[in-house]
């Protein structure tokens, strides 16, 4: 098996992110790989049920909301990085973007020539899985290896 040199770690910035990151850092240390920590802010505008154009926010207001979400994600990412206490010697970078998580993660992985994507998997099944799983989409469409870390048991 080839060793990994560029590991993309997709995090949702929940408590599970630390578990996913620790596994990726372990692999990076074993392989001398670089780590790229990626979070995708999924900005979803919800329209008023009245469909009255008077209640639609302007594009400027939407941009401010999206910027605020990115700012909050940046703060959470900084907290996560501090908690991880990344050792000297691991080449580490981070990126926060806005978009559809599965699409952006795959795009960045290709753009950065990642040879491994590490992400969390909640073990969803049935109806939850039909609604769409980022980890499942990454697994089936990535141009590199994917390691899905189980973050919670199916029974929860």
Q: Where are the domains of the chain?
A: 6-150
Q: What percent of the chain clears pLDDT 70, i.e. is strictly above it?
A: 73
Q: Which fold has domain 6-150?
A: Rossmann fold (3.40.50)
Per-residue pLDDT at 55: 52
Structure token pair of residue 12:
């949702």
Per-residue pLDDT at 156: 45
Which of 22-26, 51-55, 73-77, 89-93 bottoms out in mean pLDDT, i.e. has the lowest?
A: 51-55
Cα separation of 133 and 142, whole Å? 14
Return the higher-pLDDT residue of 50 and 135.
Answer: 135
Q: Whole-model pTM?
A: 0.80
Structure token pair of residue 22:
């620790």
Round the average pLDDT of the chain to a whole number and report it: 81
Reported as a pLDDT band with limits 50, 70 and 90, residue 73 is: very high
């Amino acid at each position: 098996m080839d060793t990994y040199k560029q590991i993309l770690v997709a995090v949702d910035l929940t408590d599970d992110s630390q578990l996913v990151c620790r596994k990726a850092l372990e692999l990076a240390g074993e392989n001398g790989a670089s780590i790229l920590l990626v979070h995708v802010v999924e900005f979803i505008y919800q329209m008023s049920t009245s469909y009255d154009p008077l209640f639609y926010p302007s594009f400027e207001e939407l941009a401010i909301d999206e910027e605020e979400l990115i700012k909050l994600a940046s703060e959470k990412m900084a907290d996560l990085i501090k908690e991880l206490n990344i050792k000297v010697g691991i080449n580490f970078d981070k990126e926060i973007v806005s978009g559809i998580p599965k699409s952006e993660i795959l795009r960045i992985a290709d753009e950065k020539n990642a040879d491994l994507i590490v992400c969390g998997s909640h073990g969803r099944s049935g109806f939850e899985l039909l609604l769409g799983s980022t980890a499942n989409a990454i697994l089936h469409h990535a141009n590199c290896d994917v390691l899905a870390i189980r973050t919670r048991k199916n029974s929860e």
